[in-house]
A and B are shown apart, each in its own frame.
Chain A
Amino acid sequence: MIPGAFDYHRPSSLADAVKLMGSLGDDATILAGGQSLIPMMKLRLAAPEHLVDLGGLGELRTIDVKGSAITLGAMVTQTEIIASEALAAVVPILRETSTQIADPQVRNCGTVGGNVANGDPSNDMPAIMQALDATYVLYGPNGSREVKAREFYSGSYVTAREPHEILSAIRITAPPAGHGYAYEKQKRKIGDYATAAAAVILTLSGGRCTAASIALTNVAETALFARDAGAALVGTGLDAAAIAKAVAAAKAIASPSGDVRGPADFRLQVAGVMVARAIGKARSRVR
């Protein structure tokens, strides 16, 4: 399969890339790792007239960890996230998630920026970034602005990013040291998108849950931040009743469609199971 013809641009700075996107208008598409876009172009589901490749922007390929303040450049690959000890020390859920995305070759190219920005509800990082309450930095011709991950997604492939804007970085505040975390992803085979998946981040103090954040992948038009599910855990000892309440609250906002991964009822059930498992695993990791 051969994509439609396009003109290729490889700017060498973010400023040049922003300028290009501004001047090319709606006919231009951003190329990050290409692991979603190129397959779409081969199927002619995407046919941009101009591709602006961010591969030359070394400035977007940095992982900056200063205490609990983390800035992830948009062009950091999944492989680089897995390899980063500094990142794993403070936000281990990122490594846990990246190891469950696609396969080694795809992770070598696929970027965190592409994963969060393209708006595919089956991508894994959008739920993680919502669980972490991350902030996305968007650059356009008029400068930069910041959008919370929890406010970024409004539909399948519909996000707060304007077509000419470039998502340059993700800012994360690491959860408190000793927090529990888990990303539980049910999939048919390695490399597959989730039938359903759940991210859980929680902190305990004296056996009581003091904060809990839960988000879901691929059970709606967007990744979902399950606010009520997390709230159901806070103040409890994470007993069976509290977990059941959180599972019910998470399932209440999920609305998966039936697809090759199973009928809607099944995928909803799996979402609940993933939430319960992720809570259990997160609890077991609290230090």
Chain B
Amino acid sequence: MSKQHVKMTVNGKKVEALVEPRTLLIHFLREDLSLTGPHIGCDTTHCGACTVDLDGKSVKSCTVFAVQADGSEITTIEGIAHADGTLHAIQEAFRQYHGLQCGFCTPGMITRAYRLLQDNPNPTEAEIRYGISGNLCRCTGYQNIVRAIQAAAQQLSAAKEAAE
């Protein structure tokens, strides 16, 4: 079973590696690249803790082979904050609105919310709930997660208007 050469851009950095075809993207990120932000939760395509951004789309990295991601651009939770280390508006909103308790689902939740707000900058509450329906949180009951995403959406829209 021959190894495959893969190249991708992860959080803006070019990476290359030889991987076994059966290597799941989540394992490649966590074990080969030491990006342990994306979590392995259910490992059965339900919980979304492993969510990453692949070529501008949210995917569950436990259900994608690393070889399928050859040539792609990937963003993980490690790539969401600004280059100077200050938090992204979504991260800041999760902190401020207490959008987490144990924190296990949070990397996936924020990575998903990041893409959701790019696709739909002003979502309704129903659109937020539908948009994060592939991410399970067993602590919060989602109320504060939804509030955090709403607050981030407002903040990002206001910042965009100010910039224009």
Q: Which residues of A contact B (CB under 8 A)?
A: 1-8, 10, 31, 34-35, 38-39, 41-42, 51, 53, 55, 79, 102-106, 108-109, 190-191
**When the two chains form their complex, are residues A39 and B21 in contact, meaning their CB atoms are under 8 A apart?**
no
List of 5 A-B pairs having minimum Cβ-Cβ separation, nearest first: A103-B134, A8-B21, A5-B1, A108-B57, A190-B133
Q: How large is the interface on B (under 10, 10 to 19, 20 to 34, 35 or more residues)?
A: 20 to 34
**When the two chains form their complex, are residues A6 and B21 in contact, meaning their CB atoms are under 8 A apart?**
yes
Give how many A-B residue pairs fall within 8 Å (CB-CB): 82
**When the two chains form their complex, are residues B22 and A34 in contact, meaning their CB atoms are under 8 A apart?**
no
Give the dominant DSSP class at A's interface.
mixed
Interface residues of B in 97-155 (CB under 8 A from A): 112, 116, 130-131, 133-134
Which residue of chain A has the shortest Cβ distance to B54 in the bound complex?
Answer: A108
Q: Which residues of A contact B22 (CB under 8 A)?
A: 2-6, 41
**Known interface pairs A3-B22, A104-B134; A109-B64 also in contact (CB < 8 Å):** yes
**Known interface pairs A34-B64, A191-B133; A7-B2 also in contact (CB < 8 Å):** yes
Q: What is the minimal beta-carbon distance from B21 to any residue of chain A, in angstroms?
A: 4
Which residue of chain A has the shortest Cβ distance to B129 in the bound complex?
Answer: A190
Q: Which residues of A contact B2 (CB under 8 A)?
A: 7
Which residue of chain B has the shortest Cβ distance to A190 in the bound complex?
Answer: B133
Q: Which residues of B contact A7 (CB under 8 A)?
A: 1-2, 21
**When the two chains form their complex, are residues B21 and A105 in contact, meaning their CB atoms are under 8 A apart?**
no
Bound Cα distance from A1 to B22, whole angstroms: 11
Interface residues of B in 22-48 (CB under 8 A from A): 22, 24, 27, 43-46, 48
